[in-house]
């Protein structure tokens, strides 16, 4: 692994160093190395030597960031369309690396047990793996991450919930990641239809890991609600209305969501056209 151990002062320090890294090989290496050392219990949670937390993650010069409505839609039946989809997925996975690291770094001083950080560093490790897999596939298809524009909505959602851990869990894993469970099976099927079995296999890995990521979010969301004696479904709805723009879009993958601990009582009443 290519991460620099001397930059990892603690789990929090390693997470911040990875967030700050603009070189994406270094970012993913630091994320995975911090996770590995944390799991081996050779890192403290935080240190006085930790660098300050950044408002924005480090990024290379490309891709250009544009509003979501300016993103072009392309057919998956063309190579350009498949590259555009994989590029969008790579961008989502890269943001997911920084989001998992940010929840660790930002709330490392909070009153949560160490197993909270175990869960989120597992998520960070797997999101880094996903980004590398998708980027490698883009390169096999003659493209690379940064070739196309991308949007900045994911990080904006994180920034909006930077002071409230319960709200962060509601918006990032339980809305944004859960959305991946809804849309990925159809994308897998389309990739198989076009004969791109290599890309479909990568989506399989991402889909199965994402169930675990939503489960980590649901577990800790319920934990915080129980500690505060709040009803989880009602609290989720209140936090989403306060912190998330727009309504949730059906159809939902109710089975995968329920397997992750996210039952319909959480999200059904938040849809634009509520379906039974």
In the prediction, which pLDDT does 211 show? 96
pLDDT at 2 over 60: no
Measure the CA–CA gap between 26 and 120, rounded to whole angstroms. 19
Q: How many residues does the chain have?
A: 276
Measure the CA–CA gap between 152 and 144, rounded to whole angstroms. 18
**Per-residue pLDDT tens for 115-131?**
999 999 999 999 999 99
**Per-residue pLDDT tens for 40-71?**
999 999 999 999 998 889 999 999 888 777 67
When mean pLDDT is compared across 74-83, 188-197, 219-228, the lowest value belongs to: 74-83
Residue 248 sits at φ, ψ, to 5 deg, of -80, 145
- Spatial CA neighbour of 138 closest among 99, 185, 176, 91: 91
Q: Structure pTM?
A: 0.92
Domains delineated in the chain: 66-266 (1.20.1260.10)
């Amino acid at each position: 692994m290519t991460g620099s151990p001397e930059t990892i002062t603690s789990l929090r320090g390693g997470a911040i160093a990875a967030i700050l890294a603009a070189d994406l090989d270094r970012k993913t290496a630091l994320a995975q190395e911090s996770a590995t050392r944390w799991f081996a219990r050779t890192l403290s949670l935080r240190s006085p030597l930790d660098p300050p937390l950044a408002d924005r993650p480090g990024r290379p010069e490309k891709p250009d960031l544009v509003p979501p409505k300016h993103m072009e839609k392309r057919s998956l039946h063309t190579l350009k369309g498949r590259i555009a989809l994989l590029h969008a997925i790579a961008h989502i996975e890269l943001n997911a690396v920084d989001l998992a690291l940010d929840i660790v770094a930002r709330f490392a001083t909070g009153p949560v047990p160490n197993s909270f950080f175990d869960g989120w560093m597992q998520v960070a490790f797997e999101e880094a793996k996903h980004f590398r897999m998708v980027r490698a596939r883009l390169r096999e298809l003659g493209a690379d991450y940064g070739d196309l524009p991308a949007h900045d909505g994911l990080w904006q959602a994180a920034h909006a919930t930077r002071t409230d851990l319960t709200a962060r869990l509601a918006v990032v894993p339980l809305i944004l990641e859960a959305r991946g469970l809804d849309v990925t099976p159809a994308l897998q099927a389309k990739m198989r239809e076009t004969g791109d079995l290599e890309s479909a296999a990568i989506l399989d890995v991402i889909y199965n890991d994402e169930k675990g990521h939503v489960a980590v979010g649901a577990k800790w969301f319920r934990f915080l609600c129980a500690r505060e004696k709040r009803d989880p479904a009602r609290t989720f709805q209140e936090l989403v209305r306060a912190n998330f723009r727009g309504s949730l879009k059906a159809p939902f993958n109710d089975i995968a969501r329920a397997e992750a601990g996210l039952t319909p009582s959480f999200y059904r009443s938040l849809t634009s056209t509520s379906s039974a």
